Structures are given as structure tokens and as C-alpha cells.
Amino acid sequence: MTSPNETPADSAAISLTLGEDFPDIRDAVRRVCAAFPDEYWRELDEREGYPTDFIAALTEAGFLAALIPEEYGGSGLPLRAAAVIMEEVCAAGCHAAAGHAQMYIMGTVLRHGSEAQKQRYLPGIASGELRLQAFGVTEPTTGSDTTQLKTRAERTANGYRINGQKVWTSRAQHSDLMLVLARTTPAAEVKNKVDGVSTFLIDIRESLGKGLTIRPLKAMVNHHATEVFFEDLQVPADALVGEEGAGFRYILDGMNAERMITAAEAIGSTRWFVRKATAYAKERVVFKRPIGANQAIQFPIAQAHVQMEAADLMVRRATALFAAGLACGAEANMARYLAAECLWNAAEACMQTHGGFGFAREYHVERKWREARLARIAPVSTNLILANVAQHVLGLPRSY
């Protein structure tokens, strides 16, 4: 496993599958998604509801346990298969973000947790008995600078006492467990600023009202964002995942998978926009001809399609490197960047093609358009990706 800061690996030994790979999985995902049409998502969006039955359907089909090894009740599939699952979910017009975090958050437990933690949590996550969807990292004052976290975890006789605040923690109200990053050693007392940060797996069910408070955070998109407050929350010693002080590296360890999976989602949503825009451009007649005959309509849709195909190739390359155990941080970042850009361009092309009707909820474009804008900001800003590539791939001086 590699961090997002690693340089590209020699990829001569890897091979890429072109075309529609994992056809059986794609067909199975499409069948599940067919039961959740656009109207289902529009209704949820209007009342800011959580797609409980959709997540249950994905879980029952085994899709959210794709990356969990078979010995813990999962499918033990490669990361590329997980990316395909999320791509197809989004291509069907469904909302992958309601369940995608479970795929990569559990990786921290799988790779760095004790055997007791794996046995305790992974089978339940695989079966759907436990839901791990919340990831408490971002804070109001530190933003993307995770090394400067204000949340603290102090040792006690029986474990740790946590104090602090997280923001933009999605799905905390719909999760049983939450992975939390907190400082166990003050930044002033460590030589390397990434040291002294630890990872904790907290049982939300046992903690609510006992030092843990979760409040919904209203936002432009229905991602069930929350603010999380810790006030002398007592957690047992076995809530610590891995070694104390090594949590920052554990989080970096999972960012490659996160970026590849969310890049695949963006590609799936791009496919949805391109299909939607193309179909409307063919059927909408103005001045006695289809608007799709105008190059001003054609070119933006065609550009989004071209960019989508390029992004797809980069996702395939990144996941192939990941599967081979080679450095893939640069490829994961570039895949995420290309996918976010092609998604936004596709969303804009689709909205512009529909004109005023793009704002009408019955066409379902405006909901997906709002979601598309988020891809350039979260889970990682495209500007941060460009800075990472500039400094760690091209060797340019660190920016200030």
C-alpha cells in the first residue's frame, strides 16, 4: 500500500483490461440499481432522506463487502472490482456516496487493526449488521492540514478521553461505527509533524449522549453531513487502531483506494450526464431541427466523453498498480483529478443542453449537477492534487 505522495512506479509489469471488465458484476449492479429509479432519488433529495433500503440492497448483494477478505465474510475482490461497482451505481443515476465510505474506511482496520478487532468488526460490516460509514478527520479550523488537528485523545486508566470537534463528517447519523483521527501527542512535542496522531474506532451507539454529540449540517447536496463534538468521551484502550501516534500514516495508506473509488464514481456519473445530454439533444427540436445538430451543443458533450475515456484509463492504471503492490499515489491523484474535471464538464454540458429544463427537478439534472460540483472539492481539492503532482512528481519547489 502506498501514500498519495509517492512518485509513479515503473508500470512495465502491469497490464490493463480494456472494454467492459467484470461484466457479471456490472450486470448485477445494474439489476439492483434498476429498482431505484431517478424518482426515488429525487424524493429522498427533497426530504433530505437517507437511502436505507438502497444501502440494504447493496449490502445484501455483497457489493459493500467486496474488499473484505473471505475469511471475514466478504468477497475478497480486487480494488478494480470495487471501482467498477461504484462506477455502475453512479452510471445508473444512483447515489454511491451513501455507501462508498464503508469500502475504504474498513481498510484501516483490515490493514492496521489487531486480529481481535478484525474478528470483532469485519464480519458484521460484511453482513450489514454493523455500518461503518463515518470518518471523523476534517475540523473547522484546520481544514486539509491534518497534521494540525485540535481534537485530542488523552490516556486514562482504562483507555482514552477524547475532546474536540469534527465537521463535514458524512453519514455519522446513519453509522454504527466511526473512525476518528485525534492527537495523542501535542504537535509541539514531536519532531515530525505527522507523528503523534492516532486512529480510533468508536462505537457511536455506545457513545451518543455520553460525551459524543452529532448534529446535522445542512448543505447544498444530500450527503448527510454532520458536525461531531467530543466532550470528555471515554473510549476503551482497544478502540485504538494500530500503534499510538501512527494514525496519520494509516490514513494516508487508505487515501489511494479512496481516490480511485471516488474517481470511478465520477466516471460513472459522467456516463449518466453524457447519455442524458445526448438523448435530449437528439429529441429536442428548435427551429425545425434537433438542437444536437448544433456544434455548440455537440462539442461540449463530445469533449466530456473524450475526457471520460482518458480518466477511465488512468483509473484502470492506478488500480492495476495497486493490485500489483506497486507505488500508485501519483496515479491515484491524477485519476481523481481527471475524473473530477470530466464530471464537472459533463454536468455543465448536460445542464446547458437542457437549458431552462435543466433546473426542473423532474429532469433530474439539477440534483446530479449539484453533486458533480462537489467532486472538485471533496474528498480532495483538485488544487491540492495539482500541488501534489507539481511537488512530488515534477520536483517543483514546495508552494507557500
pLDDT digits (tens, 9 = 90+) for 38-84: 999 999 999 999 999 999 999 999 999 999 999 999 999 999 999 99
Determine the pLDDT at residue 351: 98
Q: Where are the domains of the chain?
A: 1-131+246-400, 134-245
pLDDT digits (tens, 9 = 90+) for 305-330: 999 999 999 999 999 999 999 999 99
Mean pLDDT of 228-245: 97
The CATH number of the structural domain formed by 1-131+246-400 is 1.20.140.10
pLDDT at 101 > cutoff 60? yes
pLDDT at 165 > cutoff 90? yes
Q: Which residues contact 177 (CB under 8 A, 6 or more apart)?
A: 121, 125, 130, 131, 132, 134, 201, 202, 203, 204
pLDDT bracket for residue 146 (50, 70, 90): confident
Peptide bond into 300 cis (omega under 30): no
Closest CA to 104 of 33, 179, 169: 179
Distance of CA 217 to the CA centre of its chain: 18
pLDDT bracket for residue 8 (50, 70, 90): very low
CA distances from 305 to 264, 317, 339 (A): 14, 19, 11
pLDDT at 360 > cutoff 90? yes
pLDDT at 7 > cutoff 70? no
pLDDT digits (tens, 9 = 90+) for 178-219: 999 999 999 899 999 889 999 999 999 999 999 999 999 999
Q: Which CATH number fits domain 134-245: 3.40.50.720, 2.40.50.140, 3.90.25.10, 2.40.110.10?
A: 2.40.110.10
**Mean pLDDT in the chain?**
94
